[in-house]
Amino acid sequence: MNKILFPNDFLWGGAIAANQIEGAWNEDGKGIGLSDLFIYNPDKDNSKLHSSDMTSKQVEFAKRDKQGYYPKRHGIDFYHTYKDDLKYLKEMGFKTLRISINWARIYPTINTSHPNDLGLKFYDDLIDEIIKNGMEPIITILHYEIPLYITEELGGWQNKKTIELYEIFGKTLLDRYHSKVKYWIPINQINLVHIEPFLSVGTCIDKTDNYELSKFQGVHNQMVASALLKKYATEQKYNVKIGSMLADLTAYPENANPDNVLLALKHNRLNYYHTDVQFRGEYPGYIRRYFEENNLSIEILESEEKLLKNNVLDFLAISYYFSQMVSVDQSKDFSTSYASSKKNPFIDATPWGWAIDPKGLYNCLSCYWDRYQKPILIAENGLGMHDELVNETVNDDYRIVYLQAHLIALNECLKDGIDIFGFCAWGPIDLVSASTQEMEKRYGFIFVDIDNEGNGTKKRYRKKSFYWYKNVIATNGACLGD
């Protein structure tokens, strides 16, 4: 019953994002990206998730501000240190590393007549170095790295002209790297648009008559763009797999009250609809009804419907950190995109309020597999915590306990016959938090000596979890049953 069994070719590794790790935000011809606009605010309450809404005035302020600290402009200086950083991952035995390619580094302006050669050179070298160190690269094409000109000149993804620019960007990458990269994720966490709207679709809240409509329209356009890349890769006979990625937001009902059960069903459907479209090729009736009842007139062209139907995606990538619970006591109706999450009394939480629920991983993966039977990649999973460096290490037993429980849950899925081909621990080397802009919300197996305001030596140190995960990989997970 306790036997641990992972496939021999299982892809053990980690995941990072360019905007959270690279730095060099204005070097070698790179343009400004939306993630470069988020300031660190020490007074912000980070115990709960905040929306990334931004006004055009806030954008202008961030562009001109010379006083504030913008952590994602600096990251951990991976742009200059990647060769040494990758050696740590090689030492751990990583089989894969998921990265993203910063759009604004490749096409720094709206002029797409020629990509930025220096930007491409960086990713040429980075991908080659990943392969040289024995890892298979997985690429996310867009991971909260929308160039600022998409927002300022087009109004974000709600404008169908953005599809054309993204298609040029995506084709540039596929043409250049298809022989080196098998797995591609067009859009990171496509369903998080209602939690990270500005970073997801790039529309300023004061530059649209209907903000809710702009979000759904932007996501539709992203799904069209993803299908265009799948169509192109097929036509070119590239030996690649192109997948859809969700941040899991599966919710439990608070209790057996039928109203709570239906609330959870509707909440979960608003996540499923993205993959229903991308795997089944058409919009399901429940989301069309939702659009109609909420007066959301999404522009869906007949040619786009045909494109989506004929170019379904190949695999499902999931980021899983926590489960949720919903209650009609907290969400009286369903007029907004998601029911509000309520604290689950049966589950502990992190200092940031994220429920720690390994069984939730088993639950959600089982639901996705039963619904789609598509191969699954765990694109992100990890524990963000305050780590204390003592004697040049971090005794992060809490991270080991968290990851071990989630990997055992993953193994239960494998026993059920679910096709899971890889596990990417989020932020294997400490990086800037996507949601809070903090450096001190740490996920890594490798500690980076930088604080929330950019102070520190930048030196790297192996945590206790470094050696634990190294052993997990070396034993192909067998040590998890000890």
* pLDDT digits 0-9 by tens, 371-401: 999 999 999 999 999 999 999 999 999 999 9
- pLDDT band for position 47 (cuts 50, 70, 90): low
Cα–Cα distance for residue pair 261/139, rounded to 1 Å: 37
The two three-digit tokens of residue 226, written as one number: 């993803």
For the cut 70, the answer to whether the pLDDT of residue 82 exceeds it is yes
For the cut 90, the answer to whether the pLDDT of residue 409 exceeds it is yes
Per DSSP (E only), the strands in 25-104 are 96-100
Task: For residue 319, list its beta bridge partners.
Answer: 247, 380
Q: Are 65 and 433 in contact (CB under 8 A)?
A: no
Cα–Cα distance for residue pair 196/26, rounded to 1 Å: 24
pLDDT of the residue at 337: 57
pLDDT of the residue at 336: 54
- Residue 454 CA: distances (Å) to CA of 47, 62, 68, 131, 429: 21, 17, 11, 31, 16
| 168-209 tens-digit pLDDT | 999 999 999 999 999 999 999 999 998 999 999 999 999 999
For the cut 60, the answer to whether the pLDDT of residue 364 exceeds it is yes
Average pLDDT, integer, range 287-308: 96
pLDDT of the residue at 44: 77
pLDDT of the residue at 48: 62
For the cut 60, the answer to whether the pLDDT of residue 482 exceeds it is yes
How many Cβ atoms are within 10 Å of 238's Cβ, its own excluded? 18
Amino acid at residue number 454: G
Average pLDDT, rounded, for the chain: 95
pLDDT of the residue at 222: 98
Q: Which residues of 206-223 are buried (b: 16+ CB within 10 A; e: fewer)?
A: ebbeeebbbbbbbbbbbb
CA angle 247, 105, 28 (to 5 degrees): 145
Taking every pair of Cα atoms in the chain, the longest distance, rounded to a whole number of angstroms, is: 63
| 428-470 tens-digit pLDDT | 999 999 989 999 999 999 999 999 999 999 999 999 999 999 9
How many Cβ atoms are within 10 Å of 160's Cβ, its own excluded? 16
| 110-137 tens-digit pLDDT | 999 999 999 999 999 999 999 999 999 9
Q: Determine the CATH number of domain 11-481.
A: 3.20.20.80
Cα–Cα distance for residue pair 261/265, rounded to 1 Å: 6
How many Cβ atoms are within 10 Å of 5's Cβ, its own excluded? 12
Cα–Cα distance for residue pair 399/443, rounded to 1 Å: 8
Of 108, 205, 236, 204, the C-alpha closest to 165 is 108
For the cut 70, the answer to whether the pLDDT of residue 1 exceeds it is no
For the cut 70, the answer to whether the pLDDT of residue 51 exceeds it is no
The helix-helix angle for 117-132 and 78-92 (nearest 10°) equals: 20
Average pLDDT, integer, range 343-351: 93
pLDDT of the residue at 173: 98
Average pLDDT, integer, range 315-320: 98
Average pLDDT, integer, range 415-432: 97
Report the share of the chain in percent with pLDDT over 90.
91
pLDDT of the residue at 262: 93
pLDDT of the residue at 37: 97
pLDDT of the residue at 43: 82
Residue that has been written with the tokens 């030196």 in this structure:
459
Q: Are 173 and 101 in contact (CB under 8 A)?
A: yes
The two three-digit tokens of residue 325, written as one number: 């619970």
Of 224, 329, 247, 336, the C-alpha closest to 290 is 336
For the cut 90, the answer to whether the pLDDT of residue 335 exceeds it is no
DSSP string for 353-381: --B--HHHHHHHHHHHHHHH---EEEEEE
Q: Domain residue spans in the chain? A: 11-481
Average pLDDT, integer, range 55-65: 96
For the cut 80, the answer to whether the pLDDT of residue 331 exceeds it is no
pLDDT of the residue at 435: 86
pLDDT of the residue at 441: 95
Identify the burial level of 482 via C-beta atoms within 10 angstroms of its C-beta, where 0-12 means exposed, 13-18 middle and 19 or more buried: exposed
| 226-276 tens-digit pLDDT | 999 999 999 999 999 999 999 999 999 999 999 999 999 999 999 999 999
